[in-house]
Amino acid sequence: MKAAMNNVFRSAVFGVGAIAMVLGATNAQAGDYGYKPGQKAVYQVNEIDRANGALRNVGNHLEATGTPLEGNIDLAVVSHSSGVYMLLEGATNSKGELYEPKVQDLMSKGVAFLQCRKTLQGKGLKKSDLVDGVEIVPSGVGEVAEKQRNGYAYVKP
């Protein structure tokens, strides 16, 4: 009788351990980012001096949550005022590094880059001056407000 109870106990312990291993493997396969999917964030970039930090913050955010293409987050970067210079083809930062590769990398992960039409008009720029894939919105501040109204967290690096 005692031997039978020990076998039942061992089977139960083994079964619980197996379930824990399967659940752990499932979490690892699904991408354990530490945050539940479903975040929505809008980053406002209206100062070129903050562009490097903003792009770095967006990348760090995706590392912590997963990407829009994975369905983990909805993330947009809204640019207006001098922030537009981050989105110009061939534009470089103070170290001479191009912004475009980082912008395109983030876009390839599903991040939306939205540029204010009023800024383009005020600076005499055209959509064709921008990195491919940048979308034009009527107003940068209007877009930020609209995103907030729709539940997006506001981030200003």
End-to-end CA distance of the chain: 68
Contact assessment for residue 134 and residue 45, using Cβ atoms and an 8 Å cutoff: no
**Alpha-carbon span 111 to 104, nearest angstrom:** 9
Does pLDDT of 152 surpass 60? yes
Mean pLDDT of 78-106: 97
**Alpha-carbon span 148 to 92, nearest angstrom:** 30
4 band by pLDDT with thresholds 50, 70 and 90: low
**Alpha-carbon span 14 to 87, nearest angstrom:** 56
Mean pLDDT of 77-91: 98
Which one is predicted more confidently, 2 or 36? 36
- DSSP 3-state of 130: strand
pLDDT > 90: percent of the chain: 78
